[in-house]
Amino acid sequence: MYQATLGQRGYRFGDLRQLMAKASPARSGDYLAEVAAQSAEERMAARIALADVPLKAFLQQPLVPYEQDEVTRLIIDSHDAVAFAPISHLTVGDFRDWLLSEQADSAMLAQVAAGITPEMAAAVSKIMRNQDLILVAKKCRVVTRFRNTIGLPGHLSVRLQPNHPTDSLQGIAASMLDGLLYGSGDAVVGINPASDSLPLLEKLNYMLDDVIQRFSIPTQSCVLTHVTNTLRLMERGTPVDLVFQSIAGTEAANRGFGISLALLAEAQQAALSLKRGTLGDNVMYFETGQGSCLSANAHHGVDQQTCEARAYAVARHFSPLLINTVVGFIGPEYLYDGKQIIRAGLEDHFCGKLLGLPLGCDVCYTNHAEADQDDMDTLLTLLAAAGLTFLIGVPGADDIMLNYQSTSFHDALYIRELLGLKHAPEFAAWLAAMNITDERGRLRDAAANHPLLLALQGERT
């Protein structure tokens, strides 16, 4: 039992799971799940009580039962007690103060990351303002490598997302060319296919590999299909760089995705065996989003932000090159408006970075949400200030296959110029060598005889 008093009124919370949910900032998904605080006063009382909870309590009181959930078992069994030792005496409130102190510099945050559980990260985020989330995340340094180096301080990468509603190879190639000429693609060139046809998926992988190899682009490709399809492709000898999978924070939700930890481990080993990385062996790419556990009725009464943080434990176990929260994609049933989407994006980025993950964000919304592109500009700017690892680049910010609004190649130019952010160093050198950028790293106008344009013309003929 946890309790707090505000004025003349006392509040009681039956267990840690309820306390966490009541302390969470207001969002439509938690109201839908009937776990949210019923008033601002109750929410504040829950935060006051949560601040006094020892971090050790999260190791002793799992929010999802250990016996029922392999994600919980992963969190508890893989917990690094040595890394946890420097902060093991703290309460949630003390942890917030410590994170904001000068003592918690980048080196110290990296040292303790393996000792922080998702629930600890989620708990402390609930008592932090947006500026706190931004400042702490900025101090976290997470660097990964495959064919280039992602996550260096002062750098921001972009996933080039050239989706097409009919998986037209020419349409995808045109979007990919557009993105490359705008300097996008250093995180990954990643296609969400409209079809699960194995022969088509194979063609897409070969096309991406052909472009990357033909022009010696220091980046990686990924066709974002189900992990079982990617396994089959690798068995057929298809040139696969990264293995993609959507993941969630409970075993039941992951079962709904058709995956398990064992299946992800099998795919990781298969990708590693291909030895396609030239600089590193981070071969996994994961996507997450608040509300996925609730939409599968697999949340166990846990609030959606804590469920999201638990998905990061799954990701951390497999040392991904990239992981991003598709923050506004699931819809207003879970994040109703721009205010909720902005807060969720900052929470996700903070929790992921605190746990030692290369967290990116699809700064996005669906067309029936109470949000617009101005909200996305705000979130993009805040996340970039917080040290975002990568964002999404879609032609015109409008994904014509997935039918949602994201960020564009132009948005990446805006945020690079505003904050002086650089491309991955290997990719920056390639852009300069290809005469796409000048000596200051700024875009040049592409001449009609540019090799990439000539290659596209060749594809059309």
> What is the residue-wise DSSP string for 72-92?
HHHHHHT--HHHHGGGTT-BH
For residue 333, how many C-alpha atoms fall within 13 Å in the half-sphere facing its CB? 11
Under a CB-based contact definition with an 8 Å cutoff, are residues 51 and 2 in contact?
no
Q: What is the mean pLDDT of residues 324-340?
A: 96
- Average pLDDT of the chain? 96
The separation between the first and the last C-alpha atoms of the chain, rounded to the nearest angstrom, is 71
Which residues make Cβ contacts (< 8 Å) with residue 11, sequence separation at least 6? 3, 4, 5, 42, 45, 46, 49
Tokens of 19: 């306390």
Q: Report pTM.
A: 0.96
Which residue type occupies 7? Answer: G
pLDDT at 452: 86
> Residue 8 has what pLDDT?
87
Q: pLDDT tens digits for 349-397?
A: 999 999 999 999 999 999 999 999 999 999 999 999 999 999 999 999 9
Q: Which amino acid is at 335?
A: L
Over residues 420-445, the pLDDT tens digits come to 999 999 999 999 999 999 988 889 88
Once rounded to an integer, what is the mean pLDDT over residues 4-20? 95
Residue 441: the pLDDT is 86
Determine the Cα–Cα distance for residues 429 and 301; give it in Å rounded to an integer: 49
pLDDT of residue 459: 60
Q: Give residue 440's pLDDT.
A: 85
- Looking at residue 442, what DSSP letter applies? P
Q: What DSSP string describes 383-413?
A: HHHTT--EEEEBGGGEETTTTEE--BHHHHH
d(CA 266, CA 67): 23
